[in-house]
């Protein structure tokens, strides 16, 4: 009887026009923005249904997420790649960003970066010789992630590359990343001209021993506190690293001055870091990699431990499926372009730097860095909305990475592949945009997302694993 004593209110699912018609007729309607799980993919929805509420998945996710939260990444040393990656000491191996890909299939920036790495190593005397060598099969290519490493954009690491060595002191696993070259024409965007090779060799010959001397003098640097403080100072530690680089700089400079290195070398190293606000990015990536690797290998866990792009495909890995990749074509980036460039000039999404978002910073922490929208587009409100929305697809929050704009709540962390597929909300990533041709460099920056197909494939594999068990 109570229902008949008041005007009806309609809850509308599906097409909003149905609600509009009801409202135009003078009644009250509320539109619920609902869509079927897996965006209506029946097969993926069935796999999802089999795993939702499974106690084995719940317990595995708790273990994986706790391992991630308890990880303590520490910069412990600096070394050449051939000294810490065994295969580089015995074979001509070049690492690249993203999931596996053959040289012939690589995008322009990655082919350009590999050409530059070959020239840098002295394996060829010209660009033509370098391309021929890369095509010959005499060089082996592998993802950085296969060796516990990460690299921004093209992500190229060759035997003579100086690497940061980051150790998770909680469990002892290590991660590596190369040095950040700064902006302009740089290897990571596919540039390989003489000035690029000269800079790389200077970084090997002068910056590398300077950084090694400073880190060893300090005895190591804890990275998590730097990342946490930088978030309070306006960084999101992916595309904005000014505060984090400044905090690192404060520790490195006194240590550099305490070494017995030549004054000129110390001065040039200090000048290089001071002129490169992105210097901390590669350390942020290695720290994120170390934290997430701590969470790998938990049977049944749907927690995402890797998101990476090679300029053609986007790939993810889950804790519960080990080293298996799940791939789909990389999405384009919606952003701001430098004058004279547009979407037709852009390469698809590229780089290992999405490891930051996988760890709960970067695009997930944009609420901490409202100024980032000047670089990637949108408004400060958009940045906050991105951080809030990511809470719907994660296992929890990281209280160490607190966001002032969200009342100092922790950043969303521990991407749950099940939640992504169930909600249709995709992980947000902010990224630089590379020109599709090698050598042009960065042409903008913006926002993109992981493709849903990766998560559908990953959930299916996880369901199969649990069924077989």
Q: Is the pLDDT of residue 100 over 90?
A: yes
Which tokens go with 387? Answer: 């951080």
CB 173, CB 167: distance < 8 Å: yes
CB 350, CB 97: distance < 8 Å: yes
Residues 147 and 113 in one domain: yes
> How confident is the model at residue 5, as a pLDDT?
62
Q: Among 42-51, 175-184, 311-320, 331-340, whose mean pLDDT is lowest?
A: 42-51
Residues 93 and 62 in one domain: no
Percentage of the chain exceeding pLDDT 90:
76
Q: Is the pLDDT of residue 399 over 70?
A: yes
> How confident is the model at residue 230, as a pLDDT?
98
Polymer length in residues for the chain: 469
Residues 94 and 235 in one domain: yes
Query: Domain of 45: which CATH number?
Result: 3.90.1700.10
Residues 64 and 77 in one domain: no
Q: Among 253-257, 274-278, 333-337, 350-354, whose mean pLDDT is lowest?
A: 333-337
Query: Domain of 76: which CATH number?
Result: 3.90.1710.10
Q: Is the pLDDT of residue 301 over 70?
A: yes
**Could you tell me whether strands 326-329 and 313-318 are parallel, antiparallel, or unpaired per DSSP bridges?**
antiparallel
**How does residue 67 score in pLDDT terms, banded at 50, 70 and 90?**
very high
- Pick from 399, 358, 413, 346: nearest CA to 108: 346
> How confident is the model at residue 1, as a pLDDT?
47
Give the DSSP letter string of 419-430.
Answer: HHHHH-PPPEEE
Beta strands in 285-351 (DSSP E): 304-310, 313-318, 326-329, 334-337, 350-351
**Could you tell me whether strands 442-449 and 334-337 are parallel, antiparallel, or unpaired per DSSP bridges?**
antiparallel
Residues 303 and 216 in one domain: no
Number of CB atoms found within 10 A of residue 108's CB = 18
Averaged pLDDT for residues 303-308: 98
- Tens digits of residue pLDDT in 356-397: 999 999 999 999 998 888 878 888 998 999 999 999 999 999
CB 326, CB 203: distance < 8 Å: no
Strand partners, 326: 316
Residues 15 and 76 in one domain: no
Alpha-carbon span 138 to 141, nearest angstrom: 10
Give the three-state DSSP class for 465: helix
Q: Is the pLDDT of residue 15 over 80?
A: no
Residues 113 and 233 in one domain: yes
Question: Quick one: DSSP state of residue 346?
Answer: B
Alpha-carbon span 207 to 388, nearest angstrom: 40
The 3-class SS string of 395-436 reads: EEEEEEEEEHHHCCEEEEEEEEHHHHHHHCCCCEEEEEEEEC
Cβ-proximal residues to 462 (8 Å cutoff; 6+ apart), any chain: 51, 57, 300, 302, 318, 320, 321, 417
Alpha-carbon span 426 to 38, nearest angstrom: 11
Strand partners, 279: none
Domain that holds residue 134: 72-286
Q: Which residue has the higher pLDDT, 335 or 220?
A: 220
Q: Is the pLDDT of residue 242 over 60?
A: yes
Q: Is the pLDDT of residue 232 over 80?
A: yes
CB 254, CB 213: distance < 8 Å: no
> How confident is the model at residue 360, as a pLDDT?
98
Domain membership of residue 365 (yes or no) is: yes
Q: Is the pLDDT of residue 166 over 60?
A: yes
Averaged pLDDT for residues 148-172: 97
Q: What is the residue-averaged pLDDT of the chain?
A: 92
- Pick from 142, 153, 158, 151: nearest CA to 190: 153
Q: Helices 224-232 and 281-293 meet at what angle, rounded to 10?
A: 120
Q: Helices 224-232 and 242-258 meet at what angle, rounded to 10?
A: 130
Residues 403 and 420 in one domain: yes
Which tokens go with 197? Answer: 């090779």
Question: Quick one: DSSP state of residue 153?
Answer: T
Domain membership of residue 314 (yes or no) is: yes
Q: Is the pLDDT of residue 273 over 50?
A: yes
Number of CB atoms found within 10 A of residue 39's CB = 12
Percentage of the chain exceeding pLDDT 70:
94
Domain membership of residue 380 (yes or no) is: yes
Residues 28 and 112 in one domain: no
Alpha-carbon span 44 to 79, nearest angstrom: 44
Q: Scanning the structure block, which residue is given the tokens 């909680």?
A: 170
Which tokens go with 206? Answer: 């002068």
Question: Quick one: DSSP state of residue 9?
Answer: E
CB 268, CB 255: distance < 8 Å: no
Number of CB atoms found within 10 A of residue 232's CB = 14
Averaged pLDDT for residues 255-260: 96
**How does residue 467 score in pLDDT terms, banded at 50, 70 and 90?**
confident
CB 249, CB 283: distance < 8 Å: no
Examine the fold and report which residue of 257, 286, 315 is the final residue of a domain before the chain moves on: 286
Domain membership of residue 291 (yes or no) is: no
Domain membership of residue 96 (yes or no) is: yes
Q: Which residue has the higher pLDDT, 40 or 149?
A: 149
Averaged pLDDT for residues 96-107: 97
Number of CB atoms found within 10 A of residue 440's CB = 19
Cβ-proximal residues to 58 (8 Å cutoff; 6+ apart), any chain: none
Which tokens go with 303? Answer: 């927690």
Averaged pLDDT for residues 144-168: 97
> How confident is the model at residue 31, as a pLDDT?
65
How many structural domains compose the chain? 3
Q: Is the pLDDT of residue 66 over 70?
A: yes
Residues 437 and 398 in one domain: yes
Residues 373 and 329 in one domain: yes
Examine the fold and report which residue of 286, 314, 333 is the final residue of a domain before the chain moves on: 286
Alpha-carbon span 314 to 443, nearest angstrom: 20
**How does residue 23 score in pLDDT terms, banded at 50, 70 and 90?**
confident
Residues 389 and 402 in one domain: yes
Beta strands in 154-276 (DSSP E): 162-168, 174-178, 221-222
CB 403, CB 410: distance < 8 Å: yes
Which tokens go with 143? Answer: 């993802």
Domain membership of residue 269 (yes or no) is: yes
**How does residue 148 score in pLDDT terms, banded at 50, 70 and 90?**
very high
Q: Is the pLDDT of residue 16 over 90?
A: no
**How does residue 212 score in pLDDT terms, banded at 50, 70 and 90?**
very high
CB 368, CB 389: distance < 8 Å: no
Give the DSSP letter string of 178-232.
Answer: E----SSS-GGGT--SHHHHHHHHHIIIIIHHHHHHHHHHHT-EESHHHHHHHHH
Q: Which pTM does this prediction carry?
A: 0.92
Examine the fold and report which residue of 233, 262, 286 is the final residue of a domain before the chain moves on: 286
């Amino acid at each position: 009887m109570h229902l008949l004593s008041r005007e009806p209110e309609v809850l509308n699912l599906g097409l909003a026009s149905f609600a509009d018609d009801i409202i135009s007729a003078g009644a009250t309607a509320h539109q619920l923005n609902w869509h079927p799980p897996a965006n209506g993919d029946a097969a993926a929805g069935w796999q999802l249904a089999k795993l939702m509420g499974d106690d084995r998945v719940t317990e595995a996710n708790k273990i994986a997420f706790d391992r991630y939260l308890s990880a303590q990444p520490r910069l412990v040393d600096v070394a050449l790649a051939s000294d810490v990656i065994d295969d580089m000491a015995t074979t001509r191996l070049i690492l690249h960003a993203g999931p596996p890909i053959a040289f012939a299939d690589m995008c322009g920036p990655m082919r350009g970066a590999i050409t530059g790495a070959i020239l840098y190593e002295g394996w060829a005397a010209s660009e033509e010789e370098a391309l021929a060598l890369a095509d010959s099969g005499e060089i082996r290519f592998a993802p950085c992630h296969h060796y516990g490493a990460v690299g921004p954009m093209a992500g190229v690491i060759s035997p003579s590359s100086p690497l940061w060595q980051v150790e998770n002191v909680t469990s002892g696993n290590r991660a590596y990343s190369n040095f950040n070259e700064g902006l302009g024409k740089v290897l990571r965007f596919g540039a390989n001209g003489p000035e690029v090779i000269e800079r790389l060799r200077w970084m090997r010959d002068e910056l590398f021993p300077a950084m090694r001397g400073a880190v060893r003098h300090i005895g190591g640097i804890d990275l998590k506190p730097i990342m946490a403080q930088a978030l309070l100072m306006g960084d999101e530690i992916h595309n904005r690293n000014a505060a984090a680089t400044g905090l690192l700089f404060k520790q490195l400079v006194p240590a550099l001055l305490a070494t017995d290195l030549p004054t000129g070398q110390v001065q040039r190293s200090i000048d290089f870091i001071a002129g490169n606000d992105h210097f901390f990015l590669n350390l942020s990536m290695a720290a994120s990699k170390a934290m997430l690797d701590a969470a790998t290998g938990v049977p049944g866990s749907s927690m995402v431990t890797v998101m990476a792009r090679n300029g053609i495909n986007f790939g993810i890995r889950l804790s519960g499926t080990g080293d298996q990749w799940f791939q789909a074509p990389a999405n384009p980036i919606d952003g701001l372009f430098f004058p004279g460039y547009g979407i037709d000039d852009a390469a698809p999404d590229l780089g290992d730097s999405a490891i930051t978002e996988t760890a709960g910073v970067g695009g997930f922490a944009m609420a901490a860095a409202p100024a980032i929208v000047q670089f990637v587009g949108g408004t400060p409100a958009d940045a906050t909305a991105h951080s809030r929305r990511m809470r719907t697809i994660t296992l929890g929050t990281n209280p160490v990475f607190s966001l002032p704009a969200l009342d100092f709540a922790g950043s969303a962390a521990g991407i749950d592949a099940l939640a992504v597929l169930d909600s249709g909300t995709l992980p947000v990533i902010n990224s630089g945009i590379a020109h599709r041709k090698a050598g042009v460099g960065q042409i903008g920056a913006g926002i993109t997302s992981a493709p849903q197909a990766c998560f559908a494939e990953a959930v299916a594999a996880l369901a199969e694993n649990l069924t077989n068990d």
